[in-house]
């Protein structure tokens, strides 16, 4: 991956600077890159076997650049594809965002001070995303039908209101300046899905979670918004069953109880 990123940097005319930053489970690698005209940029590389390259994850960033022009996200400068030894690589050169992310991990474990303008801008951005028409899918009804009963013990909700979503909105994909990162997974999802995901990932910081819920109460208190909370809880419980964020499980169980209208369980 590092050598492939160096090849992409040469092709795009940038100089790599600083240490590499690995993405989730080493599937991507990002690094500060200096461009002679554009200055500081970010060079992100993703890889897949040649036969698996393309499709939703591969094209998401490039499509998002044209579909969401008014949303706070890094500007996409260039894309470069190449293959080596049966592996396909896509390099994405975007504007560098100096502001730090809200958390280094998707799960928020400390309280944040989120200003009213920050929350208003985030709310406005998600509204802009929600009205976009796309044939991409972030969450499928078939997944909901199978996984929600299996993981939550609750009936699978039948979603009536599908809207476009970022699809992976958590504190590690949102900067302190309100820029939304990593657009590769956007697509249709239950109304309120992005807000529900950000809220669920913030449950270990309850004051921050409460502010997020209040900001997006118009979505999260709707029937489909409550369904989105249940879907998100199932998704994060599935991740926990694979070893991710086990400390979030009790809070997710509480969230499921609230979605079902049952009293909160006592923690031992």
* 103 assigned to some structural domain: no
Whether 77 contacts 93, CB under 8 Å: yes
SS3 221: coil
- Of 31, 61, 95, the one marking the end of a domain is 95
- Other CB atoms within 10 A of residue 237 CB: 21
Report d(CA 203, CA 170) in Å as an integer: 11
Question: Per the structure, how many domains does the chain have?
Answer: 2
pLDDT-derived band at 262 (thresholds 50, 70, 90) equals: low
Report d(CA 258, CA 252) in Å as an integer: 10
* 212 assigned to some structural domain: yes
Domain of residue 23, residue span: 2-95
SS3 243: coil
pLDDT-derived band at 57 (thresholds 50, 70, 90) equals: confident
Backbone angles phi, psi at 155, to 5 degrees: -60, 145
Tell me: do 142 and 235 sit in the same domain: yes
In the chain, the percentage of residues whose pLDDT exceeds 90 is: 83
The DSSP symbol for 39 reads E
- Find the CATH number of the domain harbouring 18: 3.30.200.20
Tell me: do 184 and 223 sit in the same domain: yes
Tell me: do 210 and 162 sit in the same domain: yes
* 255 assigned to some structural domain: yes
For residue range 3-34, list pLDDT tens digits in order. 889 899 999 999 999 898 887 677 789 999 99
For residue range 116-156, list pLDDT tens digits in order. 999 999 999 999 999 999 999 999 999 999 999 999 999 99
Sign of CA dihedral 86, 43, 101, 186: negative
Tell me: do 122 and 218 sit in the same domain: yes
For residue range 218-260, list pLDDT tens digits in order. 999 999 999 999 999 999 999 999 999 999 999 999 999 999 8
Q: Report the predicted TM-score, pTM, of the whole model to 2 decimal places.
A: 0.92
Instruction: Say whether pLDDT at 107 is over 90.
Output: yes
In the chain, the percentage of residues whose pLDDT exceeds 70 is: 97
Tell me: do 46 and 123 sit in the same domain: no
* 267 assigned to some structural domain: no
Tell me: do 224 and 157 sit in the same domain: yes
| Three state DSSP letters for 159-199 | CCCEEEECCCCCHHHEECCCCECCCCCCEEEECCHHHHHHH
Tell me: do 124 and 193 sit in the same domain: yes
Report d(CA 246, CA 139) in Å as an integer: 23
Backbone angles phi, psi at 109, to 5 degrees: -120, 10
């Amino acid at each position: 991956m590092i050598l492939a990123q160096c090849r992409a940097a040469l092709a795009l005319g940038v100089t790599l600077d600083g240490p590499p930053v690995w993405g989730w489970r080493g599937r991507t690698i990002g690094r500060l890159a200096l461009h002679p005209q554009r200055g500081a940029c970010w060079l992100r590389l993703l890889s897949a076997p040649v036969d698996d390259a393309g499709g939703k994850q591969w094209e998401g960033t490039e499509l998002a650049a044209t579909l969401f022009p008014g949303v706070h996200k890094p500007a996409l400068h260039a894309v470069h594809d190449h293959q080596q030894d049966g592996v396909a690589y896509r390099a994405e050169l975007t504007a560098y965002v100096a502001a730090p992310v809200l958390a280094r991990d998707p799960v928020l474990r400390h309280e944040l001070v989120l200003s009213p303008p920050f929350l208003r801008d985030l709310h406005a951005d998600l509204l802009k995303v929600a009205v976009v028409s796309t044939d991409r899918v972030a969450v499928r009804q078939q997944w909901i039908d199978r996984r929600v009963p299996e993981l939550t013990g609750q009936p699978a909700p039948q979603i009536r209101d599908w809207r476009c979503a970022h699809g992976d909105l958590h504190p590690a994909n949102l900067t302190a300046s309100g820029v939304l990162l990593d657009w590769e997974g956007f697509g249709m999802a239950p109304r309120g899905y992005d807000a529900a995901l950000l809220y669920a990932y913030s449950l270990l910081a309850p004051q921050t979670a409460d502010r997020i819920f209040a900001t997006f109460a118009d979505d999260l208190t709707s029937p489909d918004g409550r369904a989105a909370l249940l879907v998100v809880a199932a998704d994060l419980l599935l991740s926990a069953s694979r070893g991710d964020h086990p400390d979030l499980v009790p809070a997710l169980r509480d969230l499921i109880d609230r979605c079902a209208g049952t009293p909160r369980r006592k923690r031992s």
